[in-house]
Amino acid sequence: MHAYQALNELIRGNRRYVTERYAYGDTGAVRRQELTRGHFPFAAIMSCSDSRVPPEIIFDQGLGDIFVVRTAGQVVDSIALGSLEYAVKYLGVRLVVVLGHQDCGAVEAAIAGYPQPGQIQAVVDAIQPAVRAAKRQCGNLLTNSLVNNVYLGIDRLTSSQLLQQKLATGELQIIGAMYCMKSGRVFFL
């Protein structure tokens, strides 16, 4: 599936989710059996771990339809990057979406700047460049930090040589999006 077709499927799925006219993606026994032979998701989503933002649900998709990588604040670390490279190289994914959301606790923690215990500080540190950039922008600090963090994730993905090659040949598109908690809508950037 071409990246634009994949994007249209995500848009249609989110519209179904928002209007509560679900397609009820295939999750039954027959589909599970089909997927034992392999899976070929039409898109990959780099999303926050927040339990209120499950990509399979907000895009109204079934088993095997999308490849999802989730970390707090949708931080693209080496494991997340490797996972998405795998989806592109071996599963044929042609669209990667970096999905941020309103009310992201990881971004809020990065703005607050308090020292965090354990490895939580690593998450906050990874988001800090987005916050620093937002402090130089006009407008709302949180909103700008959320959007900047999506673009930061895109920048980290496009630093991959493997993904750069696919982008250069037009075999891959990487885009950003924001999920609105109240409306359920996904806005593509």
* Domain extent listing, the chain: 3-106+158-188
User: What is the residue whose two structure tokens read 């034992």?
Assistant: 36
What is the pLDDT, as a whole number, of residue 187?
A: 97
pLDDT band with cut points at 50, 70 and 90 for residue 36: confident
Give per-residue pLDDT as tens, 109-155. Answer: 999 988 999 999 999 999 999 999 999 999 999 999 999 999 999 99
The whole-angstrom separation of Cα 133 and Cα 189 is 17
The whole-angstrom separation of Cα 81 and Cα 117 is 25
Q: What is the second-level CATH architecture of the domain 3-106+158-188? A: 3-Layer(aba) Sandwich (3.40)
What is the pLDDT, as a whole number, of residue 27?
A: 74
What is the pLDDT, as a whole number, of residue 50?
A: 96
DSSP state of 73: G
Is the distance from CB of 179 to CB of 100 less than 8 angstroms? yes
The whole-angstrom separation of Cα 131 and Cα 171 is 32
What is the pLDDT, as a whole number, of residue 174?
A: 98
